[in-house]
Amino acid sequence: PAGYCCPVCPRANPPPCPVGTYSRNTGLQEESSCTLCDAGKYCQTTGLTAPTGSCSSGHFCTLGSSMADPTSLASSNISCAVGGGACPTGYYCLSGSLSATPCAAGTYNPSNGRSSCLSCPAGYYCPQGTSDPVASGYVCPIGYYCLSGTQTGTQTPCPAGKFSNATGAISSAVCASCSAGSYCGSVGLSAPTGPCY
């Protein structure tokens, strides 16, 4: 029957396709003829004719996965985790994920096994795949301010005519007007450009 291997000599009870595989075909001659479970799916029991279901959110399932929520985690090469794994920090996995997806710029993920990323906190910036903007040192630089969801440190400069010598600024309120007798000739300044003549 479908999902079972029937050796050349017929048997009353042919061996089933093993866990992590399935087959829609009948008359298979050996286990190697069974199909590895599709990426993004899992095959939890023996003798299946189709995958059991989709990989759980917060996890990714590679070919041959036998669990909805695999827990192996290869942080140096997440695409090589056998059967899949929990999404690592800096990544997220929706239900049915084939692999972990890096958090978009402006977001971060500090925990394993998440299905979404968080908005980057004000005062910091988050490049793609950020796991922790504070620990990574992604503090907003002088001359700029970083609202929640900022993607790069130079995304929002203090405007011309203003400057800021503070790091980690969370709003434009930190940008001070150029001092009397000085001018601020460009954006993103940490100090006045020079004296007025």
The pLDDT value given to residue 28: 80
Summarised one tens digit per residue, pLDDT across range 70-95 is 886 444 344 444 589 999 999 999 99
Distance CA 175, CA 121 (A): 19
The two structure tokens encoding residue 187: 């954006």
Can you give the pLDDT at residue 25?
87
CA dist 194 and 197 (Å) reads 9
- The pLDDT value given to residue 81: 43
Instruction: Give the pLDDT means over successive 10-residue stretches in the chain (197 positions).
Output: 56 79 86 91 93 95 92 48 83 95 98 96 98 97 97 96 95 93 93 90
- Residue 21 and residue 51 in contact, taking contact as beta carbons nearer than 8 Å: no
- Residue 169 CA: distances (Å) to CA of 5, 153, 181, 184: 65, 11, 25, 19
State the number of CA atoms in the 13 A half-sphere of 63 facing the CB: 4
- At 71 the pLDDT is 80
The reported pLDDT for the residue numbered 10 is 56
Reported as a single tens digit per residue, the pLDDT across 48-69 is 999 999 999 999 999 999 999 9
pTM across the whole model? 0.80
Q: What is the pLDDT of residue 87?
A: 94
